[in-house]
Structures are given as C-alpha cells and as structure tokens.
Amino acid sequence: MSPETLEPQQWVENYADMMYRFTLVRVKDPEAAEELVQATFFAALKSQYTFAGKSSEKTWLFGILKHKTMDYFRSGEKHISIDLTSTEDADRISFDATGHMTPKPASWNMNPEKAAENSALAKVLAKCLSGLPEKLHKLFVLKEIDGLSSEEICKEFNIKPTNLWVILHRTRNQLKLCLESNWLNTKLRFL
Amino acid sequence: MIDGMLKALKVTCQDVYPLISETQDHPLPFFSRMRLKMHLAICELCHIYRKQLEIICKMAQSLGKDDSKAFEETSLKPEVKEKIQKWIAEKT
C-alpha cells in the first residue's frame, strides 16, 4: 500500500479528541497530554512517507502516541525511589488485633466485566487515578493500563521487584478506598 | 518443611492480603501460594477483597482503551486543534 492511504487533513477531526482522552488517562497533567498529542501529529507528519500501510492509519498514529508517552515517562525520574515509610504512599488499609481487615470489606456486588463497561464507574476510577501521587500513578498506568510486565517496569525505572510489588499493592488499596468513598456513596444514582 | 506447613496453616488476613495483590505482578513462591490458598479457603473477607482488586484491574484495562468513556466530555482545546490543522495544511 502507498502513503496515499494516510489522510492527514482528516487527522484532527478523526483522532485529536480520541488521542487526547487516551493520553489524559495516562498522564496526570492535561498540558503534558496536550503536548504529547501535538508532538504525535508533528512526528506523524514528518514520517508519513515511512508509513508502510501494514496497519491502519489509526493504529499507526496511536503507536506513535504510545511511544511519545513512554518517552515522557522516561524523561521523568530515572530512578524511582519510594519511601515506603512515608505517609503519602502508606498502606491505608487497617487491621484489628486479630489480623482482620477493619472495617470489613463489603462486597461491591459487581461482575468485573460489567464494571469495566460502566462509564460512570470509569469516570470515578479516572478521578481516583488522577488523585494518586505522581510516582504511584505512573507505575500503575504502566502495569495495569499499558500492561507492561513487572520485569520491564523494574528495568526501566531501576526498581527492585519487591519494592514494585509493595508500591502496586498500596496503589491498588488507595484506588479501592477512593472508589468506595466516591462511588459507593453515590452508587444508587448509577443503578 | 514442617515449619512452612505450620506457618501455612496459621495466617491472618493481615499476613496474606498483600499476596492477593502480588498474584497480579509475579508468580508467587510455593509456600506463599499455599498460605494464600489455604487462607482464601476459609476467609470470606479476603475473597471479597480479591474480587475488588479484580474489578479494579479489569476497569483499569478498559480505561486504557481508545474508546474509554472516562473523559468523553473532554476535548482538545479548539486553538490547539487549529494549530495542528495549520501545520498539516502547510506540510501536505
């Protein structure tokens, strides 16, 4: 296939919002997200003649965007160190004297597949995500949203695996508590 | 060996609950896996917790897709769009 299969004139209309939203999920800073989208279109324009037509235009553009986003993550701290004793990143789940969680976790009464399709819930999770400290946010995004392996993340950011596991565990707990306080309170609205 | 087995039998939620998260990050070592399995067999609360993490995981995956509804009301600023459109017009 030839480069003619790209239609740059239509890019903004067809993909700009989609790409911006896609980036907003991954980076906390809206300005950074905006710049990443611009940089992606700029790079795509410059390299449009290398487009081999092996993938769709959309896949190709998103591929560039993903690369740019990863570069942005890399340009942050080279060595992510987390103070596991700091209160900011602390484990917020409590236990009673017998080692049971307190308060007791209550069932969310939700099927994971159904939850994933619920757009109101997606908004709450996005809000909870953006409330995470920068480092936790980045690692969670790479692990759970972009699906990188623990090994890849540890290598990229020079983290010990045990440290990463603790960080992810605490991040998931923070998200769980945030979802409970922001969503369970308003749950009736969604049902 | 016997020590490990005894340890596996006597665990609280507090002992094993980080393992529930860790199962998403790496294959657990044999004894940890066993402790978790035995604990989950008797602990309803940790089952609930595990389900919650599973929901978060699935939701996060869905959030990352290009058709996620998380920011459906948000758009790229019109002036930025115009700027990009102008570049494109110049370069094509």
Q: pTM, whole model, 2 decimals? A: 0.89
Residue-level pLDDT at B60: 96
The SS3 assignment for A178 reads: helix
B26, B83, B85 member nearest A161 (Cβ): B26
Segment B24-71, tens digit of pLDDT: 999 999 999 999 999 999 999 999 999 999 999 999 999 999 999 999
For chain B, how many structural domains are there in total?
1
Half-sphere exposure of B14 (CA within 13 A, CB side): 13
Confidence class for position B4, pLDDT limits 50, 70, 90: low
Is A24 close to B71, i.e. CB distance below 8 A?
A: yes
Is A168 close to B21, i.e. CB distance below 8 A?
A: yes
Task: Pick out chain A residues at pLDDT < 70.
Answer: 1-4, 78-82, 84-89, 184-191
Nearest CA in chain A to B14: A99
Domain covering A3-75: architecture: Orthogonal Bundle (1.10)
Angle at B60 between CA B57 and CA B63, to 5 degrees: 155
What was the ipTM of the complex prediction? 0.88
Dist CA A110 CA B40 (whole Å):
19
With a cut of 70, say whether residue B5 has pLDDT above it.
no
Q: Is B42 on the interface with A (CB under 8 A)?
A: no
Residue type, A108: W
CATH 1.10.10.10 segments of chain A: 89-190
Dist CA A39 CA B2 (whole Å):
60
Residue-level pLDDT at B2: 62
Task: Name chain A contacts of B87, Cβ cutoff 8 Å.
Answer: 41-42, 45
Residue-level pLDDT at A145: 96
A144 within 8 A of B21, measured Cβ to Cβ: no
CATH 1.10.1740.10 segments of chain A: 3-75
Q: Is B64 on the interface with A (CB under 8 A)?
A: yes
Dist CA B20 CA A112 (whole Å):
16
Residue-level pLDDT at A30: 94
Residue-level pLDDT at A2: 47
Task: Name chain A contacts of B80, Cβ cutoff 8 Å.
Answer: 34, 37-38
Q: Is A20 on the interface with B (CB under 8 A)?
A: yes
Residue-level pLDDT at B36: 94
Dist CA A22 CA A83 (whole Å):
30
Q: Which domain holds residue B50?
A: 2-91
Q: Is A45 on the interface with B (CB under 8 A)?
A: yes
Q: Which CATH class is domain A89-190?
A: mainly alpha
With a cut of 50, say whether residue B75 has pLDDT above it.
yes
Instruction: Provide the token pair at B91.
Output: 């370069």
Half-sphere exposure of A134 (CA within 13 A, CB side): 7
Sign of the dihedral through C-alpha B19, B23, B26, B29: positive
B21 within 8 A of A165, measured Cβ to Cβ: yes
